Amino acid sequence: MVGPINQTRWLGISILAVVLSFTVVGQSAADDAVQLAARLSALRGEVEALSAQLGEKQAAYRSQLQGYARQEADLSLEARRGETAVAKLRLSIDTIRKKNMAIETAAQVLDPVLANGIAQMERYVAEALPFKKKARLQALSDIRQKRQENSLTPDQALNRLWAFLEDELRMQRESVVYRQEIVINGQSVLADVLRVGMVMMFYRVKGQGVGYAKRTNDSWTYVESTTPKDVKQIKLAFEQFGKQVRVGSFDLPNQLTVTEDK
């Protein structure tokens, strides 16, 4: 039988064991709480990082969507510009088509007039004084060719023909000295020529004397002047024109009576 002292000892031991047990259990629970808190803290950090990443991706997506919206607006603007350009092009085509129709109508009316005018001027140049004749005939030929190639409209061609006619009329009112090739005794030589309006033309060639252009039948020839008076008058006129003297009177041989007809 256990005495009172032993019971008390065993009771104390039992209480001590229970206290130690609770202490061990409490320490374990505290350790678990610390680990749980650490885990929760780590999870919270991960959540915050993920949240930040999600925010960045959302911002990037919003920026991308805004970029798409701007591109859509730009494409819409370009489409409207394209529609406007097409409308202007159609209007230009209609205008050109109407203009071409007007040109075709004008061509039917003006081309015969142009052809007749060029032919008349060619006949006139061929029969007039042989002053720059090749260049003058070439100018008329150019008008005809460019009109045939349609590089000139009928009214443009007529304007050029009219300008040519004005030049011919001006030549009839003025007297000038010019250098051109002439044929003397079958040889082509470079000579000074004095054109008196479109009435008379005299020449001067160094070493070959002076003379005048003479109309014989349907052509022109150059005849040397041998009469001392005529030679003196012609040379004096060349000298005065060479000095740019344009005021006063000049005595020149009258060659208006030398034309020979069949």
Compute mean pLDDT per 10 residues along the chain, 262 residues long, and list them.
Answer: 58 58 61 78 82 84 82 81 78 71 70 93 93 94 94 91 94 90 90 91 90 87 90 89 68 60 41
AA identity, residue 197: G
Q: What is the DSSP string of 192-213?
A: EEEEETTTEEEEEETTTEEEEE
Residue with tokens 């003297």, as numbered in its chain: 245
Residues in the chain: 262
Report in angstroms the alpha-carbon separations of 248 from 104, 177, 192, 259.
53, 16, 21, 28
- Residue-wise pLDDT for 86-137, tens only, equals 788 777 777 776 666 666 676 678 899 999 999 999 999 999 999 999 999 9
The residue ranges of every structural domain in the chain are 175-262
Region of 36 (left: φ > 0; alpha: ψ -120 to 50; beta: rest) is alpha
Report d(CA 147, CA 157) in Å as an integer: 6
Which residue blocks in the chain are alpha helix, DSSP H? 4-127, 133-148, 154-173, 228-242
